[in-house]
Structure 1
Amino acid sequence: MSAPKAISIALLVADTPPRPVVEKVGDYKVIYPNFLESSLESVARHAWQEKVELQIRPYDVVDKMEYPDEGQLRDGLWDAIMITGSASSATQELAWNVKLAEFIRRTAEDHPLVRIIGICYGHQIIARAFGAKVEENEKGWELSTTEVELNEEGQELLNYKPDEGIMRIQQVHKDHVSQVPPSFQGEDFINLGSTGKSPIQALALRYPTEAPPLASTASTSAYMAFDISDSGTSSSGPSPVRSLHVLTFQGHPEFNQEIVELILSVKTEMGQVTGEKLEEALSKASLAHDGTKLGRVILNMLGVEAARTESGDEMINV
């Protein structure tokens, strides 16, 4: 039996969650791997497709300002970097904030086969790194399970059928991205969905070709202008999300009801979320959301193709 296909993710940890979250659930070094592993377990795979294992290493980019080694990136040892959420603002000129934005941009330029993924604050700092504006939302907090209206590209790339144009995702943010970043190396950033409060809910940047190899597959992070052909791809071809260099979400696919309710309790104590706003947020925290589905999308982006029916629909384990 061949060894499992390893997908390596450098988790750039931009914060520690509030103490109640850490005590009951764990910090982001626990939450994100659990989210990705549970999403992986939900992906149905054909017997002929490779087994997959995730290799996730956290880096403290705040206090230690540590990052993946340049040589490791160059040699293709990292398939992706993922930037977590944070209570800090991506607009601040803090030393670690500035360094993180510079690292993201440099990685995109120098190591283009390394995929870049951002969640909430990660979505915002990536947008900043590519020249977009991030600011405090004058419409206030966006909290708990929120319906995001996906456009056609959002439906295609995030694997929603045309009659399922709504992405449901947990949210906890007040800052937001207020403009789509300018084009990067000839490719345009795409906004995938919007809400009434925040019009830019997910960003994507395509490669010039359909599905370049992962850095670890190519053994280099240098860009190779050919489409991938591997044993993990289904007979219907690679998922559309395989074409992405960058993918971000304003919401938190890794959050569940318990985490959101714990965060809300802290924000209530701080006087940030009270009254009717709190009641509404608590009522929405328990609503169904697409966290695991979006976890599968992230894994699809990194080459974990789901088994498909004869009609091309994705098969899933639930």
Structure 2
Amino acid sequence: MNLKVASPIRLAILEADTPLPNTKAKFQGYGGVFELLLRSGAKALERPDFDATTGLEISRWQIELEPEKYPNPEDIDAILITGSRHDSFADTPWINTLVEYTAKILTETSVRAIGVCFGHQIIGRALKAGVGRNPDGWEAAVNDVQLSEKGKEIFGVDKIRIHQMHRDIVFNYPEGVEALGSSPVCKVQGMYVAKKLITVQGHPEFNEEIMTEILDTRHATGIFDDEAYNAHFKKVALPHDGLVVSKAFLRFLLEQ
């Protein structure tokens, strides 16, 4: 019989962007979007050793707007780095600070790291992988990710469908990191090291409403032309496996 986890998992969500107006009004920040995802995953996990209500202690850190404020590694068990409209490879002070902090977390502490989209790329960069613009262009809305054998084990399914919104990628797997999956447009769709890190290039936290607001905004501002917008919009309401990924994140946090 499994024993209850003695104390809550202290998870610091590092918010690397500010949501668009409708999403911000509903969730305040991306930390709120992730908290909903993770608490939904906790309920679906149904593990006797983990209390879905009290098992997570979540704090939020707006590192884009307050780059001088980061959680003390001694006060947390894990970080989650969110997505962002910014370039993960940019040579800007707040992004460089984030990369340095992430590298310290991964190499000098027992704190675990979760990375999503931009966060996935930041973890790749912190581990000295190549990060940059994808010559094959954008992935957006719901797309299939083909899982590796390790990916099938971690997610508990043969493939995942996940919202995407990126044209930047991690080009190669850092040494010692296991591949979780790939797509025709992006070879590095997820990374894993037991008890240390898990990442996905996609957005398990997004839903149809959030993705529609992003697509509409990027169409209106000319980032997506009519053809690209229509192609992506056809996939915005497809079923997706955000809950599957959420449960995998939680199992990772609970690894003994």
Any stretches of 5+ residues in structure 2 without a counterpart? none
Task: Verify the 8 A CA contact 1:170 1:251 in the aligned structure 2.
Answer: yes
Alpha-carbon distance between aligned partners in 2 of 1:302 and 1:152, rounded to the nearest angstrom: 20
1:99 counterpart residue number = 97
Instruction: Please identify the structure whose Cα radius of gyration is greater.
Output: 1
**Structure 1 residue runs of 4+, over 6 Å off?**
none
Distance 1:295 1:174, change over 3 A: same
The offset of 1:108, in angstroms, is: 1.4
Alpha-carbon distance between aligned partners in 1 of 2:92 and 2:143, rounded to the nearest angstrom: 30
2:222 aligned residue (264, 268, 271): 271
Task: Verify the 8 A CA contact 2:79 2:111 in the aligned structure 1.
Answer: yes
Task: Verify the 8 A CA contact 1:5 1:50 in the aligned structure 2.
Answer: no
2:177 counterpart residue number = 189
AA partner of residue 129 (structure 1): A
2:199 counterpart residue number = 248
Is structure 2 residue 135 aligned with structure 1 residue 135?
Answer: no
Once superposed, what is the RMSD of the aligned Cα atoms?
A: 1.8
1:199 aligned residue (169, 187, 193): 187
1:286 counterpart residue number = 237
State how 1:216-255 maps to structure 2 within 5 Å.
243-255=194-206
The offset of 1:304, in angstroms, is: 7.8
Alpha-carbon distance between aligned partners in 2 of 1:10 and 1:20, rounded to the nearest angstrom: 24
Q: Which digits, 9 at most, give the CA deviation of each residue in 1:57-83, with x for residues without a partner?
A: 1112122111112xxx23xx3110110
Q: Greater helix share, 1 or 2?
A: 2
The offset of 1:274, in angstroms, is: 2.5
Task: Verify the 8 A CA contact 1:147 1:168 in the aligned structure 2.
Answer: yes
Alpha-carbon distance between aligned partners in 1 of 2:140 and 2:79, rounded to the nearest angstrom: 26
Alpha-carbon distance between aligned partners in 2 of 1:290 and 1:304, rounded to the nearest angstrom: 21
The offset of 1:45, in angstroms, is: 3.1
Distance 1:25 1:67, change over 3 A: closer
AA partner of residue 105 (structure 1): A
Q: Which digits, 9 at most, give the CA deviation of each residue in 1:95-116, with x for residues without a partner?
A: 01101000011111221x2111
TM-score (norm 1): 0.75
The offset of 1:29, in angstroms, is: 2.5
1:167 counterpart residue number = 160
AA partner of residue 177 (structure 2): F
The offset of 1:50, in angstroms, is: 4.6
Task: Verify the 8 A CA contact 2:137 2:167 in the aligned structure 1.
Answer: yes
2:70 counterpart residue number = 67
Identity %: 32
TM-score (norm 2): 0.92
Aligned length: 250
Which structure is higher in RCO with an 8 Å CA cutoff and minimum separation 6? 1
Secondary structure of 2:8 counterpart: strand
Alpha-carbon distance between aligned partners in 2 of 1:154 and 1:32, rounded to the nearest angstrom: 21
Task: Verify the 8 A CA contact 2:195 2:253 in the aligned structure 1.
Answer: no
1:110 aligned residue (91, 108, 111): 108
